Amino acid sequence: MPHPFARLRHRRVWSDPARRLRTLESFAATEEDGGRDLELAARRTLDAELAEHLARHAADELRHAALFRACATALRAELALPARDALDPAAVHDLSHGRRGHELDAHGFLRAALCEQQGEVAYVAMLNVAERRAAELFQLHLELNRADPELAPLFAEILRDEKYHVAYTERFLERWRAEGRAREVAAGLAHARGSRLIAAWKRLGVRSATGIAHSVLFVGYWVLLWPFALASRAARRRAAPSAHESRAPRAQLTSQY
């Protein structure tokens, strides 16, 4: 169940045309990245049945990318904006959460090259965890866009695919458990969940660095500097002669003449 804050944050994304456009473009890039890696994994696996599911999964992700890109292109034309410059880092609203370039792809899938090193169980476990999260997020996006005639059917279609992805990966994990590989499955799931938690922690650190710095400065000012400022001001008041005291010597000198 998404946190209420996440729901509010996503609602703001879809209500702002510029953020809506960047989000659609980023979804397209993320789905395409996952699809390309799944294609490679499908060619490398030795399990014919798993290879068939991975190939279908890859086709789904690439189709999702095309659908998101078509929506983004239409919205960009509606807003009368030029084509996005791929070299402009500010042009992409990255939804990969900092995973790109590490052991996970932008979608949260284990890289196909690591699938060969860690095995098919670890790879499918990572797919299962990533697709469960994706299904949860797309369900939220569907709810937030129920009244949108373009996005509502798009997210409904993608959500059906995500549920299939969860189902087939879960079926393979259950089969391996029944074959006596329960520990391997448990280790794969634990690693998958741990990798996502570490990525989330890193993402929180990157996104919160500025906010935390501002908070520390704010608290430091009111807790440490402000009391010293008050004490210093009070000390200056005690040390400075009053107006009456400063006039008294002058009055005495005047009375002597």
- Split at pLDDT 50, 70, 90, the class of 11 is confident
pLDDT at 99: 45
pLDDT digits (tens, 9 = 90+) for 90-135: 444 444 444 444 455 455 555 555 666 678 999 999 999 999 999 9
Tens digit of pLDDT for each residue in 210-250?
444 444 444 544 455 556 555 556 655 665 555 455 454 54
Q: Which residues make beta-bridge pairs with 104?
A: 110
pLDDT at 21 over 80: yes
Q: What is the pTM of this model?
A: 0.68
- Cα separation, 62 vs 169, in Å, equals 18
The structure tokens 């979804």 sit at 27
Q: How far is CA 96 from the centre of its chain?
A: 6
Q: What is the pLDDT of residue 12?
A: 77
pLDDT digits (tens, 9 = 90+) for 32-53: 988 998 999 999 898 999 999 9
Residue at token pair 């299962």: 128
Per-residue H/E/C for 161-230: HHHHHHHHHHHHHHHHHHCCCHHHHHHHHHHHHHHHHHHHHHHHHHHHHHHHHHHHHHHHHHHHHHHHHH
DSSP structural state of residue 119? -
Residue 81: its pLDDT value, please?
Answer: 78
Residue type, 167: A
What are the tens digits of pLDDT across the range 169-223? 999 999 999 999 999 999 999 988 886 544 443 333 333 334 444 444 445 444 5
Select 4-210's CATH number: 1.10.1740.10, 3.90.1150.10, 1.20.1260.10, 3.30.2350.10. Answer: 1.20.1260.10
Structural contact between residues 200 and 96, judged by C-beta atoms closer than 8 angstroms? no
Domain assignments of the chain as residue spans, ordered by start: 4-210
